[in-house]
């Protein structure tokens, strides 16, 4: 028996479920297949539990500053790590409830099993064959763990299992300091664990700019050991693990391997699609429509490796479903790129980095502002970081920013919204800046970039009356 469906979606993660909701605007003839646990990577083992852990850690991290400014008794604060982990899991269970309900709402059209293509329009799941007019592959990624580290068993943990730890040991090796390693490493360090962090390259948290990178490493080093340029090896040390990399070695209770993620395509039967696969087993696809060649198959979310972030996975689910069902439609544009790392201070980028602009031969100026002496940051004892804004050398249009700063997530949003709107430095500087706020630090960087432009300003930084609506003048 072969079932038939207008659309089959492989993967009930963010991309798959968003594709489902978009497609349901036009058809109910959809089958959703999911291989692993339900609830999405983001809500189950990603964005949400990591932020739940970081909130507790950052709040506790304030105790040193409180002691410095005259608040007594902070030394008496203790961390019940098993209780903190239980709190994270309880919140996690709330976040996964919605996605699980949505996936299961399809009843018999929601299938739990590993999907495999027999050909471009036939999929096999649990021994059943489904003929599909259209297919969306949204199977996500999984953490990489080197083969040689498998022998350490449960003492080597990835972000997939870290939130399941009920009583984590207090000596931790973190290997890989991309956004995930940096966030989780800082969280455990602020919670009082001894963290030894290693990364292969010179940069952490995906930051490109050397100065911005150094400002984050400087903060992290006050909380944990950070070794960059390290090729790490693990060795047995009784019941424990000896982590060695660069000039640092430390005995730890467990290791968080945050070495990157690989696409879940290996068991999908993509070799049966009749298209060429690259050496990672990935087919080529249209970057705008996400369609694989001329096939009625689209590939969306982290699995395609384009922009492995939650809001991008959702957008790609929308794009894939929309283009699958509207083959003649004009292609949908993407939002301006943005990335945020939820350390304290926060880090991230908006638009294009200086490196990307230089690689593309784009003429640009950069203005920067330090948060070490920024007024509002000082009042809060959060005075660390540096913010760089890049603007077009011809017309001052803002092109990108690289940030380590208090409340970076909000500053980065202001920047990315302005970039997408095509605002210039002058236009941004005509916006209100309340006092005292960290946004005044952003204003300093914008002003510095404008000085770099070298153009003499004709007017004060205020809009002209005839450009404003009457209500705004009141």
Ligand X SMILES: Cc1cc2nc3c(=O)[nH]c(=O)nc-3n(C[C@H](O)[C@H](O)[C@H](O)COP(=O)(O)OP(=O)(O)OC[C@H]3O[C@@H](n4cnc5c(N)ncnc54)[C@H](O)[C@@H]3O)c2cc1C
Q: Which residues here bind ligand X, judged by CB under 6 A?
A: 10-16, 33-36, 40-42, 45-47, 50, 114-115, 138-140, 159, 180, 264, 267-268, 301-303, 308-311, 313
Output 46 or 367, the one with its CB closest to ligand X.
46
- Given CA atoms 100, 103, 107, 113 in this order, what sign does their dihedral have? negative
Give the separation between CA 383 and CA 438, rounded to whole angstroms.
10
The nearest distance, CB 10 to ligand X, in angstroms, is 4
Q: How far is the CB of 440 from ligand X (least distance, A)?
A: 26
CB of 388 to ligand X, least distance (A): 22
Instruction: Give least dist CB 125 to ligand X, A.
Output: 7
Which residue's beta carbon is nearest to the bound ligand X?
13
Kindly state the tokens that stand for 285.
Answer: 């696809």
Q: Interior CA angle at 89 toward 85 and 91, to 5°? A: 115
Smallest CA-to-CA distance from 60 within 163, 230, 156, 189 is with 189
Smaller CB distance to ligand X: residue 13 or 385? 13
Query: Before 436, cis peptide (omega within 30)?
Result: yes
What is the closest distance, in whole angstroms, from the C-beta atom of residue 207 to ligand X in the complex? 15
Min dist. Cβ of residue 312 to ligand X (A): 7
Q: Name the one residue in this structure whose structure tokens are 């002496």.
A: 373
Backbone angles phi, psi at 452, to 5 degrees: -65, -30
Reference 202, options 217, 187, 189; nearest CA is 217
The pair of three-digit structure tokens given for residue 136, joined into one six-digit string: 């969306």
Q: Is 195 helix (H, G, I), strand (E, B) or coil?
A: strand
Cβ proximity to ligand X, 20 vs 449, nearer residue: 20
For ligand X, the closer CB: 282 or 393: 282
CB of 327 to ligand X, least distance (A): 23
Instruction: Say if CB 5 and CB 24 are below 8 A apart.
Output: no
Residue length of the chain: 474
CB of 25 to ligand X, least distance (A): 19
| β-strand pairing of 171-175 with 254-257 | parallel
Q: Which is nearer to ligand X, 183 or 452 (CB)?
A: 183
Q: How far is the CB of 247 from ligand X (least distance, A)?
A: 28
3 in helix, strand or coil?
A: strand
* 226 DSSP β-pair partners: 197
Closer Cβ to ligand X, 339 or 367, answer by number = 339
Q: Which is nearer to ligand X, 14 or 186 (CB)?
A: 14
3 state DSSP class of 348: strand
Instruction: Please say which residue, 40 or 383, places its beta carbon nearer to ligand X.
Output: 40
Q: Is 151 exposed, middle or buried (0-12, 13-18, 19+ CB in 10 A)?
A: exposed
Euclidean distance between CA atoms 23 and 320, whole angstroms = 9
Pick the closer one to ligand X by CB: 308 or 400: 308
């Amino acid at each position: 028996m072969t079932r038939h469906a207008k659309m089959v979606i492989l993967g009930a993660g963010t991309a798959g479920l968003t594709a489902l909701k978009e497609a349901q605007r036009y058809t109910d003839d959809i089958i959703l297949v999911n291989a692993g646990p339900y609830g999405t990577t983001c809500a189950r083992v990603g964005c949400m539990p990591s932020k739940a852990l970081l909130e507790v850690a950052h709040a506790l991290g304030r105790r040193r500053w409180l002691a410095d400014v005259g608040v007594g008794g902070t030394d008496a604060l203790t961390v019940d790590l098993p209780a903190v982990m239980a709190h994270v899991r309880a919140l996690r269970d709330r976040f996964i409830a919605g996605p699980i309900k949505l996936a299961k709402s399809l009843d018999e059209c929601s299938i739990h099993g590993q999907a495999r293509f027999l050909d471009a329009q036939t999929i096999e799941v649990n021994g059943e064959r489904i003929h599909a007019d259209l297919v969306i592959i949204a199977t996500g990624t999984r953490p990489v763990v080197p083969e040689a580290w498998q022998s350490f068993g449960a003492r080597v943990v990835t972000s997939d299992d870290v939130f399941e730890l009920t009583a984590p040991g207090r000596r931790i090796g973190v290997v890989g300091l991309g956004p995930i390693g940096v966030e989780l490493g800082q969280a455990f360090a602020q919670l009082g664990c001894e963290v030894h962090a290693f990364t292969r390259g010179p940069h952490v948290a995906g930051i490109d700019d050397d100065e911005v990178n150094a400002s984050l490493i400087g903060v992290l080093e006050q909380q944990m050991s950070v070794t960059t340029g390290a090729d790490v090896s693990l060795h047995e040390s009784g019941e424990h693990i000896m982590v060695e990399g660069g000039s640092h070695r430390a005995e730890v209770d467990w290791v968080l391997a945050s070495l990157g993620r690989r696409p879940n395509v290996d068991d999908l039967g993509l070799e049966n699609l009749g298209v060429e696969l690259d050496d990672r087993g990935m087919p080529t696809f249209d970057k705008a429509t996400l369609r694989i060649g001329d096939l009625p198959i689209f590939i969306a979310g982290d699995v395609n490796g384009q922009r492995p972030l939650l809001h991008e996975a959702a957008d790609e689910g929308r794009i894939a479903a929309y283009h699958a069902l509207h083959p003649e439609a004009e292609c949908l544009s993407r939002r301006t790129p943005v990335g945020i790392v939820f350390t304290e201070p926060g880090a991230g980028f908006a638009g294009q980095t200086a490196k990307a602009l230089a690689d593309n031969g784009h003429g640009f100026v950069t203005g920067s502002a330090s948060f070490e002496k920024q007024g509002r940051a000082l009042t809060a004892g959060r005075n660390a970081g540096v913010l760089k804004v890049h603007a077009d050398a011809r017309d001052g249009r803002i092109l990108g920013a690289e940030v380590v700063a208090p409340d970076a997530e909000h500053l980065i949003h202001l920047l990315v919204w302005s970039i997408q709107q095509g605002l210039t430095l002058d236009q941004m500087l005509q916006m209100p800046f309340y006092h005292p706020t960290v946004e005044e630090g952003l204003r300093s960087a914008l002003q510095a970039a404008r000085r770099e432009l070298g153009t003499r300003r004709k007017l004060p930084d205020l809009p002209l009356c005839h450009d404003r609506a009457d209500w705004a003048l009141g």
